Amino acid sequence: MSGPQRWFRHLGEFIEALRRAGELKVVSRPVSRHLEISRLTDAESKSPGGGRALYFEQVIDSPFPAATNLFGSSRRIGMALGVDDLDELGARVRALIEMAPPQGLRDMLGLLPTALSVTRFFPRRCRKRPAPCQEVVLTGKDVDLGQLPVLHCWPKDAGPFITLPLVFTRSLASGRRNCGMYRLQVFDRCTTGMHWHIHKDGSSYYNEYRRAGRRMPVAVAIGADPATIYAATAPLPRNVDEMILAGFIRNRPVEMVPCRTVDMEVPAEAEFVLEGYVDPGELRREGPFGDHTGYYSLADDYPVFHVTAVTHRRCPVYCATLVGRPPMEDCYLAKATERLFLPLLQAAFPEIQDYWLPWEGVFHNIVVVAIDKQYPLHAQKVMSGLWGQGQMSFCKAIVVVDRGVDPKDPAQVMGRLLETFDPTSDLTFTRGVLDVLDHSAPTAHFGSKVGLDLTERIAGEPPRRAPATVSAAAPEGESLAALLRGKVDGVVHARACVPFGGGGSAPRRNRLLLVAVAKPGDRAGKAYAAQLLALPELAAFNLILLYDAGIDLADASLTLWKLFNNTDPSRDLHFSGARCVVDACRKDPSDGHTREWPDELSFD
């Protein structure tokens, strides 16, 4: 084959392509699946550009090699999905959804080849016997999940977790298939947890079986061709088969094969397959687990997956992912989703020009949207629509800018915020569902949300308040920190800054101050906010962000990650006129937060 390979039959072909492209680092010495592979993967993921994929030839106490960080760079995710630029996938989607309806027989005949070509994306039955994923079949007492090099990812994890599984289920009501990526905690030789979030399709199908009192068949593929692995992560509408999306990306159908012990089908080219069932009503404590938020998700009760068979290729590769504080491998998978689903979002909201999900928002905490604004409160209309739209309904903060602002450019967005934002007129608050992993809301699964309208005012909208005039110059540098330490108990450090270089040469309505405090545990963030807003020396600062001691206030990515993860808009935004303090500190009962606050991930 000349030129770069555009699609891959199975994981082994993709790994070989990475090796040829210089994107693979081989670790030949024996390594432990308990934390060691994770440490190496974490360091590689946080290397410039995402580092390289890792291939571990010898995993202690396992006969199988392991691979991590396979998709963790812009180049590798492009290779995985067969494109040089992720927007190419979006262009293919746009071509399908913008197809004009036929006006006559000639138009209908012209569309026929396109319509017929779509059927090639549908999954097909594998004709090979045995199928590659069933070259080795283990059942009964031969089933032993301990043979797989399943990673113990972070020190406080409850055990080893399968982190890149393709979990296949089928609706009892409709018979439709779902393939989702839900982590599996390995309990023993033949059982795991089944981490179905309450908002996900797998959980919905499980509830159908639970209400019927019937055992639910489940199959889990570990390792497949890269397009199929990606498809399991995509937020498709319910009852849309992820294998069709994989076929669309590959331009070839995914070949499926019936399982040996359950009535399910799995990708024939998978590396490993776990077959089994979930009994209705059987729950077991699962977690904690070091999650993609950068915090441990807390322990809770989840269904139990009983493994009746393990099948695999003769020489399989176990693939895993490590998630944690961004940037990590999942950031690049999420970027593919962002670009692939833009045309679908624009089909529902034609005014949307582009959007951006910052990594620091861990995919569900913030989105920046650029719109073609045409009428008063158009930005608020878009906010309301997005909060009712699929996976966007979990988004805690929505920032809306005009079409002339590139939402993917942090400097432009930050500049717009500093030049324009008026807290008295530009905020929209509401309540709604939140991602299960959100830990900052006072209640689980739902909480407050905020929209920021940074668009230009047009006729019919009330003008923004004129910027306040401040006569005294704002203190700078160490004199600023020393001033605050002398005025406010617990202040450790302070920094006046503009993250990502936003602001440009335009006059700034707002100035930003970051303050780190050592909260004693009996003083709420609002008490600090009141003190800071009352200091005349800080009158020049319109926006003050409050952080815990130990946070490097010069690290823009770190401070934004803490801001997006640790705030509940209705509780943690404190106002005085056109000035605002945002409390991004860890919360405790003094803040009215009685839920357990999770620990941050660290190997220390």
pLDDT at 207: 93
- Helix, coil or strand: residue 548: strand
pLDDT band at 474 (very low <50, low <70, confident <90, very high): low
**pLDDT of amino acid 482:** 87
pLDDT tens for 83-100 read 999 999 999 888 876 655
pLDDT at 232 over 70: yes
> Known catalytic residue: 291?
yes
- pLDDT given at position 112: 46
Range 513-524 average pLDDT: 87
| All residues at 6 or more sequence positions from 110 whose CB lies less than 8 Å from its CB, including other chains | 102
- Range(s) within the chain of domains with CATH label 2.30.110.10: 128-319
pLDDT (0 to 100) of residue 505: 46
Indicate if the pLDDT at residue 236 is higher than 90. no
State the average pLDDT for the chain.
91
pLDDT digits (tens, 9 = 90+) for 151-163: 999 999 999 999 9
Question: Nearest 5 degrees, angle CA 69-CA 202-CA 365?
Answer: 60
- What does the pLDDT read at residue 248? 92
Q: Please, which residues have CB within 8 angstroms of residue 578's CB and are 6 or more apart in sequence?
A: 422, 423, 424, 465, 467, 468, 542
Q: Among 291, 354, 435, 572, which one carries the catalytic annotation?
A: 291
pLDDT tens digits, residue range 337-389?
999 999 999 999 999 999 999 999 998 899 999 999 999 999 999 999 999 98
pLDDT-based confidence at 3, cuts 50/70/90? very low
CATH number listed for the domain at residues 329-453: 3.40.1670.10
Q: Is the model's pTM score more than 0.85?
A: yes
pLDDT of residue 472: 61
- pLDDT number for residue 506: 47
**Which part of the chain is CATH 3.40.1670.10?**
329-453, 477-591
- What's the pLDDT at 459? 92
Checking if the pLDDT of 1 tops 50, the result is no
pLDDT value at position 105? Answer: 53
- Residues of the chain with pLDDT > 90, as a percent, come to 76
Q: What is the pLDDT of residue 470?
A: 63
- d(Cα 69, Cα 345) in Å, to the nearest integer? 29
CATH number of 128-319: 2.30.110.10
Neighbours of 281 (CB within 10 A): 9
| The residue to which tokens 């040469």 are assigned | 505
Domain 477-591 has CATH 3.40.1670.10: yes
Write the DSSP assignment of 247-301 as a string of letters.
HHHHTSPPEEEE-SSSS-EEETT-SEEEEEEEEEEEEEEE--EE-TTSBEEPPEE
How confident is the model at residue 198, as a pLDDT?
80
Predicted local distance difference test score (pLDDT) of residue 539: 87
- How does pLDDT run across 421-458, given as a tens digit for each residue? 999 999 999 999 999 899 999 999 999 999 999 999 99
